[in-house]
Structure 1
C-alpha cells in the first residue's frame, strides 16, 4: 500500500485493501463448474480499524444474502455450496448471528425435502454492512471519501407492517425511474452491480446495489455542506399520519407503524 493514501471511510492512512462488496459473496470456481466470478473485483484502501471491523461482517453478510428466495441460480448455488459449508463449520453459529429469531420449515420435493428458514434478520448489522459498501463504492466510483449522512434502505425485506412495505415499493419504483438511463457497473453482474444517480436539486444522490439478481439496496448521500431538505410527506408519515405519495399516477398509501410494532423478515433457503 502506497504512503499517504487515505481510507475509504475516514481520514486515517490506509494499510490494506478491502473488497467492495466482500469477496466471499462471489462464488469460487470449484463451486460453479469452473466459472471465475472473482475476477475484476472492486477494491478500496482501508485503515486498520475499518479493515478489522468490516472483515468480521463479511461472512455474516454472505450468510444473510445468498439463500434469499427470489435470488438467481448463482445465489442458490452459492448457498448450497460455500454458505452451507460455513454454516456446518460453525455448527449453526453463523445462523444465530444472521437472525435474531428464526423458524425452520421443510418443503417436500421429488428428491427429498428443502429446508426454508423464515426469520427476523439482524437489521442494524445489515444496515452497517451496506453503509460500508456504499462508502466503498463512493470512493471507488467518485474518487473521494464521502463526508456527510448516508441512509440505507433494504429493499428486499418483507415487513409485517404493510405501510412500510408500501413505502419501500414507492422508493423502489421512484428509484427505477431515476435510474432508467443510468449505466450499471460491475464485471460480475449476475452477482452484483451498482448504479449512481445524479444529484437532485438538494444535492442528494443515491447508489442502487443489486445482489444475485433480486436483492435491492438503496443508499442515499447527503453531503455535509448541504442542509437536510424538508419533505412534508415524509414528516407526516413519520408522525404516524396516513400519507399518500403519487408517482406516475399511482397512489401509495402509507401509515408508519410505531417502532414497537415494526418487524422486518426475510426468507433464506
Structure 2
C-alpha cells in the first residue's frame, strides 16, 4: 500500500524536505566548502503540499538569514547566495526598503539593548510554511499525522510599538527552552548549524522547538485531545 501525504490523505507522489532544502547551503555556497544538503529530513508528500509551495520556501530562505545574531553559516550563505536571490526579486526588495525602520532590540538574557533595522514581512506566509514544516517534523518524529491543536511564536518577529509584548513573547520562549533543557530533550537534525529541532510532551501538552542558524527559533505548542 502506498503511503499518503504527511498533510492530507492523498497518495504521496514525492518526498518533501523538512525544513525546505533551499535553507541548506550547497558546497559552493557553504562556509568552508562543507555540503550541508546531506542526510536531510524528508516525508511523503502529495504534489499540492510539495512542489506547489516552492515559492513560499524561497520566501522563507530570503527572510530567515536577515535575522539578528545568526551564526557564520547564515552570514556566509546570505553573502554568497541568498542576497543574490533576494536582489533579483525587485518587488520584495522595494517592499523591504519602503518598510525599513530603526528599532531598539532587547536581549533579555543579557538585559542589553541594541539598535537594528526592522522590515515588514508577510508573517502569515512565513508562519504558513513553518506550520507545515512542524507537521512534517511531527510526522517524521512520531510516524503519525498531527491532529492536535497547534499555536506558534517566533523570536525573530517583532510587533511594532509593543516592546513589552515582544519581551513577554521572548520570555515565554525562554521558559519553553529551559523546560526542554530540564527534561533533557535531544537535538535532532544532521546539519545543526542550519537547523535542529527538539520535542517533548508532558500530559496533553507537547512542545516542538525549531532552531535555524544557531539563534532564530520557532516554538510550536501542541494541545492534544485528552483521550489520546
What TM-score, normalized by structure 1, do the two folds share? 0.72
SS in 1 for 2:139: helix
1:244-255 equivalence runs, <5 A: none
Offset, 1:54: 2.5
Separation in 1, partners of 2:198, 2:98? 33
Summarize deviations over 1:15-34 as a string: whole Å, max 9, x none.
11111000110111112242
Match of 1:170 in 2: 171
Indicate the larger mover: 29-38 or 125-134: 29-38
The structure with more radius of gyration: 1
More helix by share: 2
Offset, 1:163: 2.8
1:197 has 2:194 as partner: no
Match of 2:22 in 1: 24
Offset, 1:101: 5.3
1:155-234 equivalence runs, <5 A: 155-159=155-159, 160-180=161-181, 181-198=184-201, 200-201=202-203, 203-223=204-224, 225-226=225-226
Q: How many residues align?
A: 210
Separation in 2, partners of 1:94, 1:226? 44
More strand by share: 1
Separation in 1, partners of 2:205, 2:101? 41
**Aligned 8 A contact 1:15 1:47 in 2:** yes
Match of 1:102 in 2: 99
**Aligned 8 A contact 1:75 1:191 in 2:** yes
1:14 has 2:17 as partner: no
**Aligned 8 A contact 1:31 1:82 in 2:** yes
1:147 has 2:147 as partner: yes
Separation in 2, partners of 1:54, 1:6? 18
> Alignment RMSD, CA only?
2.2
Q: Sort the Cα spacing of 1:17 and 1:69 in 2 relative to 1 into closer, same or farther, 3 A.
A: same
Summarize deviations over 1:204-261 as a string: whole Å, max 9, x none.
20100000011010011223x349xxxxxxxxxxxxxxxxxxxxxxxxxxxxxxxxxx
Summarize deviations over 1:6-64 as a string: whole Å, max 9, x none.
11111211111111000110111112242111110111111121123432211100011
Summarize deviations over 1:89-114 as a string: whole Å, max 9, x none.
33x234457x5952288xxxxxxxxx
1:118-129 equivalence runs, <5 A: 118-129=118-129
